[in-house]
Structure 1
Amino acid sequence: MSGRPDFGAAAVAAAAVAAAPPGGVAPVSRRAMNLAHFLVQAARRHPSRPALLCGNLRRSWRELDARTAALAQALAERGIGKGDRVLVHSRNSFEFVETLFAVLRLGAVWVPTNFRISPDEAVYLARAAGIKAFLCEGQSPDHAAAVAGAMPGLALLARLGAGGFGETDTSALIEARLEGAPRACADVDHDDPCWFFFTSGTTGHPKAAVLTHGQMAFVVTNHLCDLMPGTTEDDVSLVVAPLSHGAGIHFLTQVARATCTVLPEGARFDAGELWRLVERHGVTNMFTVPTIVKMLVEHPAVDECDHRSLRYVVYAGAPMYREDQKRALEKLGSVLVQYFGLGEVTGNITVLPPSQHRAGDAPDARAGTCGYERTGMQVSIQDDAGRPLPAGQTGEICVCGPAVFAGYYANPQANAKAFRDGWFRTGDLGYQDEQGYLYITGRQSDMYISGGSNIYPREVEEKVLAHPAVAEAAVLGVPDPTWGEVGVMVCVLRPGHALEADALLDWLAPRIARYKLPRQVFFWEALPRSGYGKITKKLVRDALRERGCLAPAAQAGR
């Protein structure tokens, strides 16, 4: 696959301008800032200040700028240039960050993977993106071999770190070119792609959402405006999630303000280590997902370490359950920032700032909301025919604005399904209240119909999480010969608690309509999580099947 992707809404808009009648707007090239210029700016203003910290390792802004320029030169020597896709497979590291800015400098397209994917999945991403080069961590030789075997014409296969494959490693490429590497960033237009943001693929093969330089400049500006106002070079950010996805967008925002970023040394999530880093470095912000916030605030280290430096704990990926939100506010104070946004809108649909997070249950607390529209963005709740619905009615959450991606790469069928009358269809269900606050009731694929009634799993999950013994819960619909579908619930209990299914259902019965009660309840030690720490219904359903928990009719269901 090669050539310019089908840009969906962006292509439609460009065509409209090009077809303007005499006296209308003439088509012009919209020059944009290359995103790598954020790094150039930081290096100019604060050359000696730390850009990256990890244990005893340190990179200054000057060093990071020089190293990415050198790596960009090495890639250019292999024929990699504007529009070419570079697949990068790695855990969080200094080297991983260097690939981002090296690729951006060239006007090429960064294609990061979730480092937990299998070699076969890496091959799929490589083919779907039509890559020209592959930069792979030394710890993943099987991924390198699989991609190289599937795409023998690669211009470059290089390692990040030590290993036994590839022509060389990126550090060697950089060291050989540190002196005299050109520092200028390639010229780019507003709609030039810079990042292929692969969807999680929970309902099928991942799709490459095309993010562009102009779109991402707006997203970074909006993050600074709506999520972390007042961020400067005196702030410190802690990485708590893979930089290949949402945390990478958050990281770009830090670079735009020359904010130092701290990477944990451990390869695995360690809440104790994270809280020690907050205390040691005076961390002021972090980005994560609700399940990780929950684990952080329930770890003993939250009471042992000084975290008063925190100003913003940004969470996204899913709304936080109300009971978890209350505990987080109790432990951390007024620092929570929620945003709602898919990769296709680069996390840029709504915001619930610290001032709107209330610990109590007063009417103005708006329990369950994910906030109001981000600056420059508009939300529309629509029915199946695309008609807007009034306040209080549930429908599909649709959005428009400068943060919406350009479209899926080389996937016109997906683009046709994702866009309607200029609106991007998120696939999430929800409603807005009279003041415009958005409430998510679930994914379209999560909702199930039992006896003709729509049931939204999140409503049931919110109720059951108020039980003092329940730490986590997931509800999903499974096929049933009588009712069409019925609910199945999986719970994780808090340490030291015991509970029977009948007792939990008896407790739940007066708190929710009878038809919404799950028909089966299972207690597990843990719920399965995606590579980004999220609990998805697909993973729970797969685990139920693997454990033989579903009846034959449900086993054969969706």
Structure 2
Amino acid sequence: MTEQTMPFWLKQRALLTPGRTAVVGDGEQVTFGELNQRARRLAYFLAGLGVRRGDHVALLMTNRLLTVELIHAISYLGAVIVPLNTRLTPAELAWQLNDVEASLLIYDTAYGDKVEQLKDEVSCQICADSQLDGVNAGQVDDHQVSLVEHIALDDVHTIIYTSGTTGRPKGTLLTFGNHWWSAIGSSLNLGLHADDRWLCCLPLFHVSGLSILMRSVICGMTVVLHDKFDPQRVNEAIGRDKVTIISVVTAMLTAMLDTLSTERYPEHLRCVLLGGGPAPLPLLKACVSRSIPVYQTYGLTETASQIVTLSPDDILAKVGSAGKPLFPAQLRIVSDGQEMGAGQIGEIIVKGPNVTKGYYKREDATAQAIQDGWLYTGDLGYVDEDGFLYVVDRRNDLIISGGENVYPAEVESALLAHPDVKEAGVTAAPDPKWGAVPVAFIVTREGATLTEAELVAYCTQRLARYKVPKKIYFVSQLPRNASNKLLRRELRSLVQQERQPGAQG
């Protein structure tokens, strides 16, 4: 059977719509034609550094135009992109570089101190972004370098390391086909408008940010690129840059609403994709009341971003649902090998052409996570009688208290309904009687004088007694990753610290 191929994405997009704006960022507006030229010049330069087909090229970069150009340039050489989380320590970065067998690390000088500390621990070549200044095609003989003209959908495009909730992180293999079907599934669900502009304020090393670039080049959509998330700047950009779609997580959307100077966003904003775990109902209801088009979504690194999304037709009828699987995907809820019925909670498993083929050099983890083509996500949820998914929590975050299941996301939702609570995180604390009990970490709104007793009384009116937090800690901030997702595993560490003799409560 002949291998299925298609034209190289950026080259084909530049042929079809060369004058259409590809990226708005760094004070520039770059067309697809210009982006293609820049990526090709960078590819020739990287080839001069020895990058060849199949090599793993790591990027330790901020969100900037150069990062976008490098992503396409690396693919032009048939090499594999390895985006690195810029928040990692030098030791963590060195481990990932060695684990993925990187041949080259390209880094932003903003992270020069980290690279200086790790350089003696890795064997790969290292290149600073400053070395790419003034790159032009004349630096490498074009005739000696063959850029990719066609791609096979089964070829690996990216290796993205998971956050590693337990043990070492794993390098998730994402193929061109995974990214292709993610983009197509998203477009079939959300529709594709000629004037679409997708604001990317999520890091490009995260699959949620990277997938926006893939959709851009596949669908011919403009990306408005921000180097980091700033709620005021995002709100201003939605109006100024005519943003139609934005991807955020709960903490980001909450901050946006807190700084929004008007009651509503402009009508051209047609979709706020909300991911990163179960969203609190008070936030969703506030968005509905203000006519903010929030579409809850569910996805993982292993699914090349979203795999379940609420469609526009169901946004009001199914508040709190992540929706139904994207067109090419399938979804089941299972427990102990049995498929669950409507309303029954179990593990979410998914299948489809946007699901990873596995983990780099981790056959054991691959075999455990992917069985008969189904990806076992480790997340808990249920589907209602209409087939809509409701994500309950991470399986690892589930609290079993006296034999009862307590879902932290449900408790957090109740806490966030209090007007003085800005952020909430819930985790388990050991208990001699019940085995484990829920405890909460709270960030209050500025000027609030909330007490533990008041908040416990508030929860008692809204939750069964076993779900009410047995201890509440007031903190200045909650631990979050680079995509602003709450890190409950770090909350568990905080609980252990608080329980140490002499610790301050």
Instruction: Tell me the TM-score range normalised by the shorter chain.
Output: over 0.9
**Alignment CA distance shift 1:29-1:82 (3 Å):** farther
Counterparts of 1:551 and 1:391, CA distance in 2: 43
| Distance apart, 1:179 and its partner CA | 9.3
Aligned to 2:304: 346
Quick check: 2:310–2:324 contact (8 Å CA) kept in 1?
yes
> Is the counterpart of residue 170 in structure 1 residue 139 in structure 2?
no
**Alignment CA distance shift 1:336-1:381 (3 Å):** same
Kindly provide the CA deviation profile for residues 210-249 of structure 1, in whole angstroms up to 9, marking residues without a partner as x: 00112221111111111x31233x3222221101121110
Counterparts of 1:463 and 1:342, CA distance in 2: 25
> Is the counterpart of residue 237 in structure 1 residue 198 in structure 2?
yes
**Alignment CA distance shift 1:356-1:178 (3 Å):** farther
Residue 135 (structure 1) aligned to one of 93, 99, 106: 106
| Distance apart, 1:300 and its partner CA | 3.6
TM-score by length of 1: 0.84
Residue 198 (structure 1) aligned to one of 161, 166, 170: 161
* Identical amino acids, percent of aligned pairs: 32
| Distance apart, 1:187 and its partner CA | 4.0
> Is the counterpart of residue 253 in structure 1 residue 226 in structure 2?
no
Give the alignment's Cα RMSD to 1 decimal. 2.4
| Distance apart, 1:254 and its partner CA | 1.8
Residue 233 (structure 2) aligned to one of 249, 255, 273: 273
| Distance apart, 1:185 and its partner CA | 2.2
Residue 158 (structure 1) aligned to one of 127, 139, 146: 127
What amino acid is the match of 1:142? D
**Alignment CA distance shift 1:151-1:551 (3 Å):** closer
Residue 282 (structure 1) aligned to one of 242, 254, 269: 242
| Distance apart, 1:393 and its partner CA | 1.2
| Runs (5+) with no aligned partner, structure 1 | 1-27, 163-168, 359-364
What amino acid is the match of 1:506? A
> Is the counterpart of residue 541 in structure 1 residue 487 in structure 2?
no
What secondary structure does 2:193 align onto? coil
What amino acid is the match of 1:471? K
Counterparts of 1:178 and 1:302, CA distance in 2: 53
Counterparts of 1:212 and 1:343, CA distance in 2: 12
Aligned to 1:30: 3
Counterparts of 1:148 and 1:207, CA distance in 2: 22
| Distance apart, 1:251 and its partner CA | 2.1
Quick check: 1:67–1:98 contact (8 Å CA) kept in 2?
yes
Which range moved further: 209-218 or 496-505? 496-505
Counterparts of 2:259 and 2:298, CA distance in 1: 26
| Distance apart, 1:349 and its partner CA | 2.4
Counterparts of 1:132 and 1:302, CA distance in 2: 50
> Is the counterpart of residue 411 in structure 1 residue 362 in structure 2?
yes
Counterparts of 2:480 and 2:83, CA distance in 1: 20
What secondary structure does 1:140 align onto? helix
Aligned residues: 502
Residue 357 (structure 1) aligned to one of 309, 312, 315: 315
Quick check: 1:460–1:516 contact (8 Å CA) kept in 2?
yes
Quick check: 1:313–1:336 contact (8 Å CA) kept in 2?
yes
Quick check: 1:66–1:178 contact (8 Å CA) kept in 2?
no
Aligned to 2:377: 426
Aligned to 2:281: 322
Quick check: 1:470–1:494 contact (8 Å CA) kept in 2?
yes
Quick check: 2:200–2:212 contact (8 Å CA) kept in 1?
no
Counterparts of 1:261 and 1:97, CA distance in 2: 10
Aligned to 1:550: 499
| Distance apart, 1:144 and its partner CA | 2.9
1:362-377 pair list within 5 angstroms: 365-377=317-329
Counterparts of 1:213 and 1:147, CA distance in 2: 31
Kindly provide the CA deviation profile for residues 67-93 of structure 1, in whole angstroms up to 9, marking residues without a partner as x: 111111222233322221100001001
What secondary structure does 1:355 align onto? helix
What secondary structure does 1:297 align onto? helix
Quick check: 2:284–2:319 contact (8 Å CA) kept in 1?
no
| Distance apart, 1:157 and its partner CA | 2.3
Aligned to 1:225: 188
Kindly provide the CA deviation profile for residues 156-214 of structure 1, in whole angstroms up to 9, marking residues without a partner as x: 42222x4xxxxxx2233446449958785254433211100211123232111100112
Which range moved further: 495-504 or 170-179? 170-179
What secondary structure does 2:238 align onto? helix
Counterparts of 2:420 and 2:464, CA distance in 1: 21
Residue 439 (structure 1) aligned to one of 381, 390, 401: 390
